[in-house]
Amino acid sequence: MNNLNSFLRDRYKTGLFVILVLHTVGLVGLLSPWYDVFLRLTPATLLVSVLLLIRGWEHISLRLWMGIAAVFALGWGVEYLGAEHGLVFGNYDYGTVLGPGPAGVPLLIGVNWVLVIFGAHALSSSFDLPAPLRIGLGAAFAVVLDVAIEPVAVHLGFWTWQNNEIPLSNYVGWFGVSALLIWAVERLVGPTRNGLARALFLVMFAFFGILAMIL
């Protein structure tokens, strides 16, 4: 019982356990005959994931909330420019998997940016680097994750690209936007010292990487 209580009080261990279970179940479910049921759970998975991300900080300050809000708002805004006007990333349209949002751009895509940016920044913050290199490395990590996400997202109907081709501009845009958002986080919060954010990023990469190879 003492071991169980100790486990439940450990933010990192309990958070990592939930992250692993959540994504393992999702992976198996999306590869099963009942994949459509699990696909409809995508919004819930994103919301649980961002709660776990927040749980990873021992001290939550106003500046941290400002950083999260900035990444959410700017991330969603850039997606609006992309989906509505073909700017930044290329020409694409959202499906219904990620839920509703103004002008057909899901609000949850802002949550996804929070997960990606803080995760990539947490990973780059693991290295003893000057801030500019930490920002660039974090942006590169975000692009690598997007390389794994894109074919899976298109296959599952998260969004569709014009002519069914993922343009190079998408990855260039991802690097630029990610660098900008990580810079904002650096200015507001500093390095992201959050083990759960780092773990979540790596698990997401494994999750989408495996699906990309199988689907």
At 144-189, the pLDDT tens digits run 999 999 999 999 999 999 989 999 999 999 999 999 999 999 999 9
∠ CA(132), CA(136), CA(137), 5° rounding? 115
Lowest mean per-residue pLDDT among 9-18, 25-34, 196-205: 9-18
Does residue 85 carry a pLDDT above 70?
yes
pLDDT > 90 fraction of the chain, expressed in percent and rounded: 91
Nearest to 197 by CA among 88, 139, 114: 114
> Rounded to an integer, what distance in angstroms lies between the CA atom of residue 165 and that of residue 98?
21
Q: How far from each other are the two terminal CA atoms of the chain, in whole angstroms?
A: 42
Confidence category of residue 8, pLDDT binned at 50, 70, 90? low
CB 73 within 8 A of CB 110: yes
Confidence category of residue 10, pLDDT binned at 50, 70, 90? confident
| Average pLDDT in the chain | 94
Please count the CA atoms within 13 angstroms of the CA of 129 that sit on its side-chain side: 18
Lowest mean per-residue pLDDT among 23-27, 57-61, 137-141, 203-207: 57-61
DSSP 89: T
CB 116 within 8 A of CB 123: no
Q: What is the pTM of this model?
A: 0.95
pLDDT digits (tens, 9 = 90+) for 177-191: 999 999 999 999 999
**Whole-number pLDDT of residue 49:** 97
The domain limits of the chain are 2-214
**Whole-number pLDDT of residue 154:** 96
